[in-house]
Structure 1
């Protein structure tokens, strides 16, 4: 009789457990599975893909930083080498933007107005023999294209944002300074390459010669240029931070 009762209780417990399992019910009272519709499933897949991409980008960025740290540690544990490299780079930037005095080989391009005769020439003929602001702009552009690494007009250091306009008998630059003819344009770079570019057919310097202006080009081993007097502070622009 006792065995029958034990069997009966086991049988009842088995039925109750079966019912709970069929109802997908945990003994703790939580649902074990969540069903998603097609839209929710698609959103979950896209979110997972986005997380994978973010993790990949973080791994790549972390790897680059580890490589930099490793290179710095291998080069110089005291960071002296890093500091020297940074100072050298700042010095190079200073020469490029004209903030520092610089020297090197190059050419001296001397340009002056042509000889005019008001009695025998009309206004257009006289103006054609004069050196204007657009002439200076074109000459400076030709020097840059030819590889000039530093340029100065007389004592005025030309910088990347230099502009020039006519001011009566003078040419006025962006900082308000004015230069007058004859114009000695100094250009540091490969002397032969600079000279050849200025004298090739179709160049503006060649056109100045055809217009009967005075043009002379000298190749020199050393040119010393002063720093710019223009304002080099960056007040209105900043690095653009793109969102990936």
Structure 2
């Protein structure tokens, strides 16, 4: 009799468990969902991106830990710290244009298009000329494409560079002028830079449609001069949080 009761309870419990499973019941209180193909693909891509970000963070953490360890256990740690600080200063000086630099990249050659004053009106002629807003948009596209350093002819472009038209010249913020043809030297990934400049919707493509002369050439070694702009900071200072 006891065996029959035990069998009966086990049988009932099995039926209830099967019913719960068939209803997608989650015993931990989390409801399960069915994903369509697009949602599943997005989830896979998001997971891959997260794994990559985690991997990069781990590598960065390991690098910083090793650096701290070397600082703490190196008998000449003061000299080592000083060397690292000098190396960082050199990097910063390159980024803001204070040093003469070299590297691979591209040269973007731009010149005004051919005009005919007898057959074209003023708007048509102006459309074939390079203006300051064109130069500003080109410089911005190069920065967005990953340019590490830029110079227009012999004028080094820095983060605070500004440009205006001055008749046939481009006038920069330090009162230096450059004239056409403009050879814009860019240090960075040559393939990426060229692809970005020639993609649909880029301003360089628009210049081509406007019939300006445009040519892009990959260069193995570009040498850029230092900036002539004033790099002294007068008004801004580091923000110190007060807790």
TM-score after normalising by structure 2: 0.71
Q: Which residue of 2 aligns with 1:170?
A: 169
Q: Which residue of 1 aligns with 2:231?
A: 232
CA distance in 2, matches of 1:170, 1:103: 26
Q: Any idea what SS the aligned residue of 1:151 has?
A: strand
Deviation at 1:135? 0.2
Q: Which residue of 2 aligns with 1:148?
A: 147
Deviation at 1:77? 3.3
CA distance in 2, matches of 1:230, 1:94: 13
Q: Which residue of 2 aligns with 1:111?
A: 110
Spell out, residue by residue over 1:67-120, the C-alpha distance to the aligned partner (whole angstroms, 9 max, x if none). x98752313435221111011101000000000011000000000000000000
Mark the CA change 1:76 to 1:82 in structure 2 (over 3 Å): closer, same or farther: farther
**CA radius of gyration, larger in:** 1
Q: Any idea what SS the aligned residue of 1:179 has?
A: strand
Spell out, residue by residue over 1:115-172, the C-alpha distance to the aligned partner (whole angstroms, 9 max, x if none). 0000000000000000000000000000000000000000000000000000111000
CA distance in 2, matches of 1:141, 1:227: 20
- Tell me, yes or no, if the aligned pair for 2:156 and 2:228 is still in contact at 8 Å: yes
Q: Which residue of 1 aligns with 2:138?
A: 139
- Tell me, yes or no, if the aligned pair for 2:70 and 2:77 is still in contact at 8 Å: no
CA distance in 1, matches of 2:228, 2:200: 35
Q: Which residue of 2 aligns with 1:207?
A: 206
Q: Any idea what SS the aligned residue of 1:223 has?
A: strand
Q: Which residue of 2 aligns with 1:75?
A: 74
CA distance in 2, matches of 1:223, 1:77: 37
- Tell me, yes or no, if the aligned pair for 2:145 and 2:196 is still in contact at 8 Å: yes
Aligned pairs (5 A) from 1:28-107: 72-107=71-106
Spell out, residue by residue over 1:22-46, the C-alpha distance to the aligned partner (whole angstroms, 9 max, x if none). xxxxxxxxxxxxxxxxxxxxxxxxx
Unpaired segments ≥5 residues, structure 2: 1-66
Following TM superposition, the consecutive aligned residue runs of length 4 or more in structure 1 with deviations greater than 2 angstroms are 68-73, 75-78
Q: Which residue of 2 aligns with 1:121?
A: 120
Unpaired segments ≥5 residues, structure 1: 1-67
CA distance in 2, matches of 1:127, 1:220: 31
TM-score after normalising by structure 1: 0.71
Number of corresponding residues = 178
Q: Which residue of 2 aligns with 1:189?
A: 188
CA distance in 2, matches of 1:99, 1:113: 31
The answer to which of 128-137 and 72-81 deviates more is 72-81
CA RMSD of aligned residues (A): 1.6
